[in-house]
Amino acid sequence: DAGVTQSPTHLIKTRGQHVTLRCSPISGHKSVSWYQQVLGQGPQFIFQYYEKEERGRGNFPDRFSARQFPNYSSELNVNALLLGDSALYLCASSKKTFGINTGELFFGEGSRLTVL
Amino acid sequence: QQPVQSPQAVILREGEDAVINCSSSKALYSVHWYRQKHGEAPVFLMILLKGGEQKGHEKISASFNEKKQQSSLYLTASQLSYSGTYFCGTEILTGGGNKLTFGTGTQLKVEL
């Protein structure tokens, strides 16, 4: 079975631009969560979606938004990019939403964003 | 709200044991443990649920003290493959949604 797939794997943007990152969860998983990981730090929670609804949001500005599609894939959008947005963006899928016997998160390899 | 992990880093010789601690200031629903090798995605190790249920791997064990909001990961008879950064993730139920928040990580290096 295919794991969690993310695209693109690497991208370079300039300040002020917009970026869209994509994630396809494992087949049968209805939950997708997004994390930002800066080098040397733990993943920081951005969003969780379950059954196409937002179920959790981290402490990120409104420049960050996401959505989940009927096939459970997801997009993370970041507007007005700042240098500090440079990071590895990880997507994780799971069968259930947080708080209901969540179980294991399966992470994708991530999208590495560099903002110049 | 980020859980605090200790130690920040540890170096072991193959076969030695290690304990990694994770503590939170919030009431926890569950604690997750993941290991991330350099340049790779985090990989699930263990989940501990409120109420004592534990799910994970045979060679790695963990405890969850609900009263103290603390968890410890026990690595016994370490192997070279145990090297990596270990993260605990704390699951908190809030009125504004549920969150799984990861700690700052513990770098573990196992040497011959």
Name the token pair of A42: 């733990």
Say whether A98 and B42 touch across the interface (CB within 8 A). no
| CA A93 centroid distance within chain | 10
DSSP letters spanning B36-92: E-TTS--EEEEEEETTS-EEE-SSEEEEEETTTTEEEEEE-S--GGG-EEEEEEEEE
Contacts of A57 in chain B (CB under 8 A): 96-97
| CA angle at A42 for the pair A31 and B51, rounded to the nearest 5° | 60
Distance CA A36, CA A57 (A): 13
pLDDT in tens, B38-93: 989 999 998 888 766 565 666 788 888 888 889 999 998 899 999 999 999 988 77
Name the token pair of B20: 């990694």
Distance CA A45, CA A31 (A): 14
DSSP letters spanning B10-39: EEEETT--EEEEEE-SS--SEEEEEEE-TT
Share the mean pLDDT of chain B: 87
H-run or E-run covering A21: strand A19-24
Q: Which of B13, B68, B22 shows the shortest CA–CA distance to B45?
A: B22
Is the CB of residue B106 less than 8 Å from the CB of residue B8? yes
Mean pLDDT calculated for residue range A33-47 = 93
pLDDT in tens, A76-97: 999 999 999 999 999 999 887 7
DSSP A28: T
Say whether A41 and B29 touch across the interface (CB within 8 A). no
Contacts of A42 in chain B (CB under 8 A): 2, 87, 102-105
pLDDT for res B58: 64
| CA A4 centroid distance within chain | 11
pLDDT in tens, B6-35: 999 999 999 999 999 999 988 788 899 999
Closest CB to B98 among A55, A106, A107: A55
pLDDT in tens, A8-27: 999 999 999 999 999 999 99
Give SS3 for A83: helix
pLDDT for res B39: 87
Distance CA B63, CA A47 (A): 28
Closest CB to A33 among B47, B96, B100: B100
How near does any CA of chain A get to the CA of B39, in Å?
Answer: 9
